[in-house]
Amino acid sequence: MSDIKKFEELLRSKEKLVCMLAPSFVADFDYPEIVWSLKELGFDKVVELTFGAKMTNIYYHKVIKEDKTKTWIASPCPTIVEFIRNKYPKLKKNLIPVHSPVGSMSFICGKIYPKHKNVFIGPCLTKKVEIKELDEVKLALTFKELGVILREKGIDKVRKRRSTFDKFYKDYTKIYPLSGGLSNTLHYKKILKKNEILIIDGMDEVSKVFSKFREGKYKDYIFIDCLACAGGCIGGPGMSKDKPLKEKKKRVIQYRNFARRHEKDLGRRGKKFHVSEINFTRKF
């Protein structure tokens, strides 16, 4: 059964649904109209992954600070994780043992909306593999699949109303889907020097770097911020519209800047103490 059919079954089940939307959505869809579309589709709550990304970063900061004896590899990208598991299993110990923003946000939603079912929507096909490890996520859809669903329901042709996310957190992690977005939001200056971070994207470059690891180290780098898709998640195969990477990046930055200017008063509930009992660590 296709994931679109599974989603239709979820809608028919009358379960209350939370849409966990990847911040790369703005490369394909207009904000804030997309939030209204998703609620019109049947979602009770629509949240971004931004608070989950913040918690992922907090745990990354802690892991790197406590151990700089090896080169740590960022683990939010499921394609990178599966690539290491299958081709470079010796590097599994280098993956930062922390959940991606999808996993982190699913735990947060599980606490705040315990009677809802979570559906992730993003640009990545491999997230469908990652969520098999997450009991809190019922289904993962791509932006392409969302586009199909909206067209089939006729929601793409309806005049959309303005609506905003059910907010946990405000703006700075909205650039997470860009290459380097993780390290640029990590607040790393107290634990790392800039030249100790390597930012790479695209599997050709990733493979070259991984093949040159020696005894858990890659040169003098302590942290490798890597994503499988060129340009980052905005280059994912599940994007619904074929735009140049430059335009997609511009839309993400503009969206982040818009939120900073016009939504400063929203989403300030995203504090660490709200999720102090949640364990965001992960095993590979």
Question: Tens digit of pLDDT for each residue in 34-53?
Answer: 999 999 999 999 999 999 99
- Report the b/e string of 175-207 with b at 16+ CB within 10 A: bbbbbbbbbbbbebeebbeeebbbbbbbbeebe
Average pLDDT for 202-220? 97
Query: Within a domain: residue 13?
Result: yes
Say how many domains are in the chain. Answer: 1
Query: Within a domain: residue 283?
Result: no
Query: Within a domain: residue 284?
Result: no
- Phi and psi at 158, nearest 5°, equal -80, 140
Taking the C-alpha atoms of residue 211 and residue 25, their distance in angstroms, rounded to an integer, is 33
Taking the C-alpha atoms of residue 22 and residue 94, their distance in angstroms, rounded to an integer, is 25
Query: Within a domain: residue 208?
Result: yes
Q: Which of 28-32, 72-76, 163-167, 262-266 has the highest mean pLDDT?
A: 72-76
pLDDT tens, 108-140? 999 999 999 999 999 999 999 999 999 999 999
Which DSSP category does 28 fall into? T
Confidence of residue 266 (pLDDT cuts 50, 70, 90): low
Query: Within a domain: residue 256?
Result: yes
C-alpha distances in angstroms, 192 versus 97, 175, 206?
18, 20, 21
Question: Is the confidence at residue 274, as pLDDT, over 90?
Answer: no
pLDDT, mean over the chain: 93
Which range of residues forms the domain containing residue 158?
3-275
Contact 160, 36 (CB under 8 A): yes
Nearest to 31 by CA among 142, 161, 182, 178: 161
Question: Residue 273's pLDDT is what?
Answer: 54
Nearest to 17 by CA among 113, 111, 123, 156: 113
Confidence of residue 269 (pLDDT cuts 50, 70, 90): low
Question: Is the confidence at residue 159, as pLDDT, over 80?
Answer: no
DSSP bridge partners of 225: 199
Question: Residue 259's pLDDT is what?
Answer: 85
Contact 47, 22 (CB under 8 A): no
Confidence of residue 144 (pLDDT cuts 50, 70, 90): very high
Q: Which residue has tokens 């994780």?
A: 81
Question: Residue 156's pLDDT is what?
Answer: 79
Question: Is the confidence at residue 262, as pLDDT, over 90?
Answer: no
Question: Residue 276's pLDDT is what?
Answer: 80
- What lies within 8 Å, CB to CB, of 64 at 6+ separation is 72, 96, 188, 191, 192, 222, 223
Question: Residue 160's pLDDT is what?
Answer: 66
Question: Residue 264's pLDDT is what?
Answer: 64
pLDDT tens, 73-113? 999 999 999 999 999 999 999 999 999 999 999 999 999 99
- Report the b/e string of 6-38 with b at 16+ CB within 10 A: ebbebeeeeeebbbbbbbbbbbbbebbebbbbb
Query: Within a domain: residue 281?
Result: no
Question: Residue 163's pLDDT is what?
Answer: 80
Taking the C-alpha atoms of residue 102 and residue 59, their distance in angstroms, rounded to an integer, is 14
Average pLDDT for 145-167? 85
- What lies within 8 Å, CB to CB, of 126 at 6+ separation is 77, 78, 79, 82, 228
Query: Within a domain: residue 119?
Result: yes
Question: Residue 272's pLDDT is what?
Answer: 59
Contact 56, 98 (CB under 8 A): yes
Question: Residue 124's pLDDT is what?
Answer: 97
Nearest to 226 by CA among 88, 5, 74, 121: 74
Question: Residue 271's pLDDT is what?
Answer: 60
Query: Within a domain: residue 187?
Result: yes
